[in-house]
Amino acid sequence: MEILSFAYFGSAILISALMVVVFKNPLYSAMSLLSMFAHVAGLYVTLEAEFLAGVQLLVYAGAILVLYIFVVMLLNVQAQGRVLQKQTPVVLGAAVVAIVEVAFLISRTHFYPELPPVPQAGIVPLGNTETIGMVLYTKYLFPFEIASLVLLIALVGAIVMAKGKLKLR
Amino acid sequence: MVPLSWYVGLSSALFLIGLVGVLIRRNTLVVLLCIEIMLNAVNVNFVAFSKYQHVIDAQILVFFVITVAAAEVAIGLGIIISLFRLKGSVNIDNFNILKL
């Protein structure tokens, strides 16, 4: 059962990612990316990370992708004649080398076997969201605050970048 | 039970697809989409290791990666809009004004 769901989600993720790269129209690429995000969220559910699956759908598919599609439609980008760059053969050769290298590394790596569940006597087992909240607001409180600063800088930077000179052409 | 190496293999294949997409595509918007694919590949790796090693910290890291991805998309699209206003195109071959 688990192998079946991994096979479905994994193949769907890979096929949608390939479609993002090969489609000529950027709107079709964005739609394929939506399919990839949804299937990655499904993979998270099978990996017992339900909170992250929800965050993946809300933030990636809900916010980031809508922003992309908005910009694609705002700029009215048409599908252009050539998809690929001039140096495509060189890049494809380098990609083949990289794939062989990663496959060799994975085949030679000794992975840990699955560890048994940690027995915690006297502690009520919490759900996924509660556990993440507990760790995020205690152990990772300072990085959490830094993340808010990163988002603030991105907010200001995006406005400054996109505003321009406020001069009509 | 799916072995952990399958997840690592899936994640590396996804990362390589994103990398090749960044290198061969000429449309800047699609290049940004391919960067998102690479970030997602790393996230899949994190979540798989989080389940197999029974540590929740990896899922917190995924949370921060998603935050950085959101910031990167906002800035990147702002830069693309600004460049489009300057050049009238999103083709990456036209963005060579810093070239000597």
**Chain A to chain B Cβ contacts (< 8 Å):** 213
**Per-residue pLDDT, B100:** 76
| Residues A83-99, mean pLDDT to the nearest whole number | 75
Question: What is the chain B residue with the closest CA to A127?
Answer: B56
Nearest to B71 by CA among A67, A71, A113: A67
In this prediction the pTM is 0.86
**What's the ipTM?**
0.91
Residue of B nearest to A164 (CA): B82
Q: Per-residue b/e over B75-100, b at no fewer than 16 CB within 10 Å?
A: bbbbbbbebbeeeebbeeeebeeeee
- Which range among A73-77, A102-106, A129-133, B63-67 has the greatest average pLDDT? B63-67
Interface of A with B in 94-153 (CB under 8 A): 94-95, 98-99, 102-103, 106, 109, 111-112, 114-115, 117-118, 128, 131-132, 135-136, 139-140, 143, 147, 150-151, 153
Instruction: Please give the angle made by the CA atoms of A25, A66 and A137, to the nearest 5 degrees.
Output: 135
pLDDT tens, position by position, A137-166: 998 999 999 999 999 999 998 888 887 666
- % residues pLDDT > 90 (chain A): 39
A115 pLDDT band, cuts 50/70/90, is low
Partnered with residue B91 across adjacent β-strands are B27
> Scanning every residue of chain A, which has its alpha carbon at the shortest distance from the alpha carbon of B79?
A161
Residue B56: per-residue pLDDT = 85
Local structure of B13: helix, strand or coil: helix
Q: Is the dihedral of CA B51, B52, B57, B58 positive or negative?
A: negative
